[in-house]
Structures are given as C-alpha cells and as structure tokens.
Structure 1
Amino acid sequence: MKNFKLSPEIVLFDRCQEFCKEFNIGEKDLIITNEYIYKPYFESYVKNATVIYRRDFGSGEPNDKMVEAIYQKVKNINFERVIGIGGGSILDIAKLFSLEKLTPVCDLFEKKFEPVKNKKLILIPTTCGTGSEVTNISVLHLSSINSKLGLANDEILADYAVLIPELLEVLPFNVFATSSIDALIHSIESLVSPKSSVFTEMYSVEAMKIILRGFKNIVTNGKDSLHNYLHDFLIASTYAGIAFGNAGCGAVHAMSYPLGSIYHVPHGESNYVFFTEVFKTYERLNPNGKLEKLNKILAEILNCSVENVFDEIENLLYKILPKKTLQGYGAKEEDLDIFTDNVITKQGRLMGNAYIPLDRDTIYNIYKSLY
C-alpha cells in the first residue's frame, strides 16, 4: 500500500506585511526566528508577540540543550500559536513548541513519550532547501547519543506553510547554494525511495527540473542573476519537501548526519559531500528499476547521456558550490568507523528509505572513497 498526505495548507504572499495583516499576529503568538530576519521584515507589523531569537541560545546545528533553554524562557507564557521564521533548524525547533509536552527533549526523540499537539503552528522558510515547512520531521543533535536524530510524527505538521519570496532577497549565495542542493537531493532520494508513489514522483520530478535548470541559468548568467529565480527555487523546495515528507530520504542523508553533527558542516553541504558517490554505488549494485527511471529523467533535464548523469551533476554543482573531501572538513581516518557505526545503529529510519540496502562494508567504503 502507498500512502500520500498533502498537509499543511500552503499560503503564498509577496510581502511579509501582507502575512502579518492576514494572520493578525499579536500577543497570543510565540515567534521563533533570528533578529536579522525579524527586525527588517516583521517588527513594524507585529504588536506584543513573544519573540525568541534562536541565536541567543547558541549557534551551529540545533540541539536538545538549545530547545531546553528556550523552553525555560517561554514555559510560563500563555501562547496559542507558534510561528517559526527561518531556515530548517529554526523550523525544526518551532515544531516542538506546538506540543503539549516537549521535555525532556531527548526522551521525546527517543520515543519515551508520545507527542501531542495543542497549539497552532505556522512555518515560514527563509531559505530554499529544507522543505521543513511541509514535513512531519524535526531533526536535532542529541547530547544523549552525541548524534543527530530525527523525530517523525504527524503531530508536528504545521497548520500553515507560508511562502514569502521577499525573505530570500538577502540570502547569501553560499546559503542559497547549500539549501537548494539539499532540496535537489530531497527530490532525487525521494524518487528512488521504496515508499515513493506516482504522487510523490510528480513533485520529485518537477522539483528536479526547476532546480537543475535554475542552476544551469545561474552558471550561464552569473551569481548576480539569482534574484530572477528565487521564487522558482522557493516553490521547488516546497515541492521536494512534499515528496520526501511522504516518501522519505535515504542513505545520503543518513551518511551526512555524523559529519554534520561532529564537524558542524551545514546540512545541505554535508548531504552534497555524499550525494553522487551514494548514487554511483546504487548504480553499480542495481542499475535497474527506479534508478534507471531517474537517470533518464536527469539525462533529459541536463541534455547529456544516461551513462554520464552523475558526472554531469557533479560538474554543475561544483560550479555552484565547490566540494571538499571529508579530510577537508577536519575528519580523521579513525572517524570513518565511527561514522559507519552511527549509520548502522542510529539512522535506521533513513536507511529504510534507501534505494537498496547497503551493508556495513559498502557504507564504510563510500566514506573511505570520499576521505
């Protein structure tokens, strides 16, 4: 049986002012964001809301200690809606504050109690990559296991995903690059997932087309042309989020988590490190089935031969964001065993969505080849 769920309600505004007026943002709202986003885009249009700046509670990947600290700050405040405005880390944090009980956070993620939603949740992405605004997944680094872990539960689905292209206008190019590459990987991993369906494939393929053609245009016309494509990339990110929210992501994401957790590599960039090598491994082990379909789609978009699709993607992405080795991020050779063990023991949710099962030796050899 294949399931497909389309939630939350998706709303598109041109400007932040329009959103604040339509949703009447005020004293019963908890806003989780960053100061550099809130002050220029929202402060003038919001009265008496509780505003939390994520960076006041630490930098880097979101973690359980950060969430616990925010909870202590807001636990006695009476709010009815949670509004997350930011990249994937902020949206993942905001999801948790829509729950009746969220602490101890490690217990929540390790499924020692069930999440129950009791507040409205509005999510507004400020990048074009994570798709978190339309997924039921929150990812944190947990101190209890010293690794990233995902919580997947419909109780943390947003009521509204609000898309405002204005918020992408000041997006630094490197943040655009890592987030949009992440969206591309979402679309591709979800297409070959065992959980994919004709419905998820439709969103996956459309996201691929928009993102890859956008990258080609940027390479041709220069980075300054990015503003012409921001709306398209924002829509593509949400398409990819709908696809992987239903079909899941696989081995690329699973293998990226240890690198991102230990060496604080941005999520999209960490995925990029493993992307083509994982898919070349899939191709070597089982070139038929959904991978064959994927390669034909990519070859048509990229105007290249089926045999060269991943080399062509690698060349294109390198022009958007130069790629490093694991060693280039500070990883040591002894980390490869640690990374591999983490994938085997902690990332079962993601590895269950892999195109084909990968054994320990195969996973280790991917890490080794990228070292």
Structure 2
Amino acid sequence: MTDTLLGYIQGADVEWKTLGEACDTLTAPSKLTKKFYQQSGKIPIIDQGEKFIAGYADGIYKTVSADRYVVFGDHSEHIKFVDFEFIQGADGLKILKAKPEVDAKFLYYAFKNFYQREQSYKRHWTKAKETKIPIPSLKTQKKVVEILDKMTDYVTELTAELTLRQKQYSYYRDQLLAFPSQSDSDESLSIKWTTLGEVARLKNGSDWKNLTAGDIPVYGSGGEMNAKVGKSAYNKPTVLIPRKGSISNLFYLTKPFWNVDTIYYTEIDDKQIVPKFFYYFLQTANLEGMSTNPTRPSLTQAILDKVSIPLPPLKLQFKIVEILDKFQALTEDVSGLLPEEIALREKQYTYYREQLLTFSTDSARASH
C-alpha cells in the first residue's frame, strides 16, 4: 500500500450517510429454528451466531435468493457478508441490501469499521442503523474493497493451513491409538485393556490464594493462570484433566505445578503406562460425551476411573510417543508461526481498513 494510493482514496469526494440510508432491509421468506439445522444439506443456514454458516437444510424451504448482502445479528452484533443463496436461521437477523450507489462489500467493511458494539443482549439495529459511514464514488469503493479483500483472503488462507495441519496431526494420532477393542483384541499384539483408575490416581486441586508467591505455575481448567506460587502440588510427569468447564482441555506436564479445584492431576503408574502415552490416548477419548451436566460440562472421578485404557507393551508405547512427539513438533512449528502471522495480518488489515475509510472532512458532503 503506497502513501500515494492512500492519499488518493482519502482525498476522494465523499458523502456521509447513515447505514439505514445506505441500504434496505429485507425480510426472509422463511426462518428455521435450531432444531431443524442439519450437519449437511443443499442450502446453508445463516443466523446471528458467531459461526459464518450455522448449519444446512435441504431445498424444501423458501430461500433468500443469491445476491450480495450484509447480515447483522440484532442481538449478537455479528456482521457477515453473504453472496450466495441461504435460509435464515431463527430470529434476530437483519438482511441488508446496499442501495445502488453503494457497493455491498464496501458497506460490509464500513459497517465493521464504524459501528461501535454495545456488547449487551438487546436489539441493536435501531442504534446501528444511525451509524455514519462515508460513501465515495463507486470506483473508489471498489478500489477499497479490492485492497481489503486481498488482505482478508490471505488471513483466510493462513487459517485454513493451520486447520489442515491440526487435522493431519489428529488423524495420525487417532490411527496410531486405534487399538482393537477388548473383545476383538489380538493376543499376538499383547494389547491388554484396563481402566484409568487402575493406572492412575486422580488428585483434587485446591485454592492457591493463601500460598506465598514464587515461580511455580498455577493451572486451572483453562490452562496456566496468571499466578505463581512457592509450593507445588506435584513434580512428576502427569496429565491434568479438567473436571469443570473445558473438560477436553488436557495438559501434559513434567515440571512442578499447583492445580486449583477445577482440574485434577494424575499420579501415573509408569510401570504399566508411559505418562505421555496416557496423555495422547486421553486426547482421543470422548470426554465431553461423559459430562454429567449439560449446562456446564463436568466430570467426576467415578466416571473417569472407568474410562477404558489400552496397555500395549511399554516398548510399543514409547515408540508411539516418539512418533506422535515428532508429529506434534511439526504441528507446533507451524502452529507457533501461523497464529502470529495471522494476528499480524489481522492487525494490518484493521489498520488499513481504518486508513482507507478515513476520508478527509474537506471533501465531505452532507447527506441530503
């Protein structure tokens, strides 16, 4: 992006209008409640949730015809650009069609740039539609869209690459740990099955706030907390298993730590099972499906103690850990770089979006 180009765009003749003046609102011919959402189908469902596509339905419902729209979550305040046929999901979605003098994608970028989120659960369109946005010539609008599209496309490509690497790692991990079930077990493989309670003891955590400060990290169900203490709960290889909240968020530690009461640590019998193998296998277990609370995911010791655990020979366990460690290292190399690059590019996109949409007041014309 050159200063000359920025100067050309920012110096362009511009008229300021409200969002409500720059677009029309459309009414969808049909709306689906969440109970009708499918994992796959012919027509995507767009609702006011965070996910871009909330689900799918088959072509038995009246759809919003393919065109270029900006959709706004009246309660959620999520803003999306949609350029394909879709079905509206549930209520609270405002479907905006740009006026002829406004490019739809420019409207989307301007909406995201100038709208001030209220971040409360109420209807927001009444206030949002009063947001003032600049309307330069269509030629200038399209130039702004072209530049910002290139930036967002690059972020999308990076995110897709990161997702692909993570899926690749998960696939090979699951394949390596897909042992025959106990009833189908091949004796020649020397695979025994036991339960978690037979190879590890779950130990509760406790509050850290009365401990003296130190350099030992404190862990909760969300991971390492913003706290350091002078006492450790355990200092041998272990797997931390959340009992409330993000219950599939496992941690493998070899360093001293303190854990709070939302997460268990495990005393692992390393004569039966390699601690890192135990960690990798638990990643494949459907811990979320064992939750005792549909509102706030929760696990109990009684449930976890009964989780089936395979026990191949220790030599094979070490070999599997060696292979998965290499895969994970490759994934982490990419995962460490890509999120930084994605965050950098998103900051760059936000900066240039603000710059490209900051038009000189000297060239402004009032809306009629």
Q: Which structure has the bigger radius of gyration?
A: 2
So what's the TM-score if we normalise by structure 1?
A: 0.22
Greater relative contact order, per chain length (Cα 8 Å cut-off, separation 6+) = 2
So what's the TM-score if we normalise by structure 2?
A: 0.22
Between structures 1 and 2, the one with greater strand share? 2
Between structures 1 and 2, the one with greater helix share? 1
